[in-house]
Amino acid sequence: MRAVRTVCAAVVATLLAYCVLVALSEAGRVSLGSFALVVLPQGVFAGSALVCGLRAALVPGDRLAWAFFSAGLGSYSLGTLLWQLVYEPRADTPYPSLSDGLWLGLAPLSMIGIWLMVRARLGRRVSLLLDGLVAGLGVASVAALIFFPTIERAATQGTLAEIVTNFAYPLVDLGLAAAAVGAMVALAAWRQPAWVMLAAGFLVFAVADTWYLLLLVDGTFYHGGWNDASYLVADAFIALAAVRPTAVEPQQPRVRGREFLIPVLSGLPPVAVLALGSLASAPLAVVLALASLTALAVRTALAMREVVALSDQRRLARTDSLTGLPNRRALYDLLEEGTESGSVMIIDLDRFKEINDALGHQVGDELLRQVAARFSDRVPGTGVIARLGGDEFAIYLPGASRDEAARVAADLTAALEEPFTITGTLLHVGASMGITAIAAGTQVGRALAEADMAMYRAKTARSGFEVYDDTQHSSAWDRLATVEALRLALDRGRLTLAFQPIVDAHTRLPRSVEALVRWTDAERGFVPPDVFLPLAEHAGLMPQLTRTVLDLAFEEAAILRELGHDIAVSVNLSASDLLDGLLEQELLERLHEHALPVHAVKIEITESLLVDSHGRAGDFLLAVREEGFELLVDDFGTGYSSMAYLHDLPVSTLKIDRAFTSRLSTDPRTGVIVDSTIEMAHRLGLSVVAEGVETEAELAWLQEHHCDLIQGYLMSRPLPAADLHTWLAAQKPLSV
């Protein structure tokens, strides 16, 4: 860009020198020679073309447009040089000449450059292009009305070629002026220096040509006057525009309420032209005015269509497409515009996810439609029901107290007691509802958060509905703040993994490690997993959290192999993970990405998930086991699982919960349970891991009863990756 500025500065200096000499000549102090009449003008013409060419070559953006500007200015410079050196010295100066063709070439080449820049910024925004067309044609019609009659009288003399050339100059000038003004209007670029100078340069060209023709008609034109200087000023404006950045979008976007003023005001000049001129006296002006008004009519019709489309889009944007109810945006707008107090209710359907997963989305969608219809029948006339998304609804009851809202909630609960019939199947679905009061001027987000907190308590307590209690404000908001902090931590990659070794119970050699997610918040410090994992599940963050854990776990599995440790990394999956239709494919993709064998990663599920593993969850477990992943059942013995699940589902390892391991040396009944579990697992061909082993006595008991693997503080606490690598490097087999 430095080269562009340097050449532009030379152009401006040359222009100033020429203007000083013209001023001195007009005052009779100097006589202009060939230096002032030939060299200085060529310095400005050729220098301006060079500035635009350097801009096209060196500066990204609008390269082709500036190349056309450079070509137009270069054509004009070449035409001037040819006239000065070849045609002007001759006694029989030809007209038209090659110089005329080169001079006329400036306008079409520049108009192409203007069009390229406008198209790059507006694309297919037809309405804005029409605004520019209306304004450009309107300006051209006014110019034609004022100047064309005088020009026409002089232009109709001579041969046919001379007449055509005479008329070509004002026509291309009108086109150039129309393009410059139209571009400014279409882009609303009044405050962008680059566009202002670019349009000014082309307008000055049109004015200079018109001025030149008027001087010829009056017989007062002479070389070396201010008319010649005006051409140099036009070139300098374009050169100055080349050194300023041109924004891709207008700096001042149009205000929609004022947008239609632009074409309306642009349509006034052609109306004035039609009122003052006639087809006989000013045919070109009338034709241009009619063309401008035609473009205005098309613009108006397009604007009406846009208004209708915007109205439809606004309605659709505020309507839930599935149920026809207002959506979240419509509810927010309604609450923000509310002028009276009332109550807000958040409703979350119970057991909907199981129905949707088991019977498919079509059944789930129809169930939502029927629930919406049933709710709509029970909401009072002044109330508004909206679907927020998924299986979540909201109801706004203007003027209703919390007690009145509670009665509505009880009525809605009763409405769900009757089963729904879908494709011949009877389905039952419940709901958990949270209620809070909202006053005029209350922050909408806060009110909805309070209702959501009350709904969460209702879901936890299975009470049907709860009213927000101000006494629980602190803990509820802490939970909400924790969720938002967790969301931020996930987005910024602030979760880490700790790895607890699982070792052979007899040799104490490491066999695998369990990946355990850890979160240390800047404000809260270390947040235990049993605190933030339930929040992640409730807030819908578990898919993102699981993928974060998988990314870290697969990366660590690859690092362990690079360090020479042939041990697996096991990861825990939640209930929502088993319903993810893409997870098994993502597991395979991660294996391929890290060039890992399938036994490098193991998958752990809890005993409760084993019991609930029907439908999609069972399909997932079968699919990943078929791909070769080993499945472990975590916390075995804490639930009430049937042994049939161990037979039917492809698990390979049981992990006995620490609640049993910690009582082995003190409770004989626990020993009987653990011993029978180990024997049962071995008979089924399963391995057994004892969790929470902390003493040598516990280890000795487990060795005596043929437990396969152990995990616990006796061997190692959960370790960061770097500490795990150190621990593994120090391990040696111990004698039994």
Q: Give the range of the structural domain holding residue 443, as residue numbers without chain letter.
A: 328-468
Same domain, 517 and 662: yes
CATH of residue 504: 3.20.20.450
Q: Which pLDDT belongs to residue 600?
A: 94
Q: Which pLDDT belongs to residue 736?
A: 32
Same domain, 510 and 408: no
Q: Which pLDDT belongs to residue 216?
A: 73
Structural domain contains residue 92: yes
Structural domain contains residue 315: no
Structural domain contains residue 487: no
Same domain, 452 and 525: no
Q: Which pLDDT belongs to residue 637?
A: 66
| Bridge partner residues of 520 (DSSP) | 526
Task: Return d(Cα 343, Cα 339) in angstroms, integer.
Answer: 13
Three-state secondary structure call for residue 601: strand
Q: Which pLDDT belongs to residue 277?
A: 61
Output the CA–CA distances (angstroms, integers) from residue 583 to 255, 368, 630, in the order listed.
47, 26, 15
Same domain, 296 and 345: no
Same domain, 285 and 333: no
Same domain, 354 and 414: yes
Same domain, 611 and 527: yes
Q: Which residues of the chain have pLDDT under 70?
A: 122-160, 162-164, 166-167, 170, 186, 189-190, 217, 245-285, 288-289, 292-293, 295-296, 299-317, 338-339, 441-442, 470-477, 580-581, 607-617, 637-649, 732-736
Three-state secondary structure call for residue 31: coil
Structural domain contains residue 126: yes
User: Which of residues 468, 487, 516 is at a domain's end?
Assistant: 468
Q: Which strand (E) or helix (H) includes residue 395?
A: strand 392-398
Number of domains in the chain: 3
Same domain, 419 and 524: no
Structural domain contains residue 311: no
Q: Which pLDDT belongs to residue 734?
A: 43
Query: For 237-296, what is each residue's pLDDT tens digit?
Result: 999 988 886 655 444 444 444 455 555 565 666 666 666 666 555 666 677 667 766 766
Structural domain contains residue 484: no
The rounded radius of gyration (Å) of the Cα atoms in the chain is: 41
Same domain, 581 and 450: no
CATH of residue 452: 3.30.70.270
Same domain, 670 and 544: yes
Structural domain contains residue 479: no
Q: Which pLDDT belongs to residue 112?
A: 87
374, two tokens: 């049933």
Same domain, 693 and 597: yes
Structural domain contains residue 488: no
Percent of the chain at pLDDT exceeding 70: 78
Task: Return d(Cα 136, Cα 604) in angstroms, integer.
Answer: 71
Same domain, 502 and 631: yes
User: Max CA-CA distance within the chain?
Assistant: 129
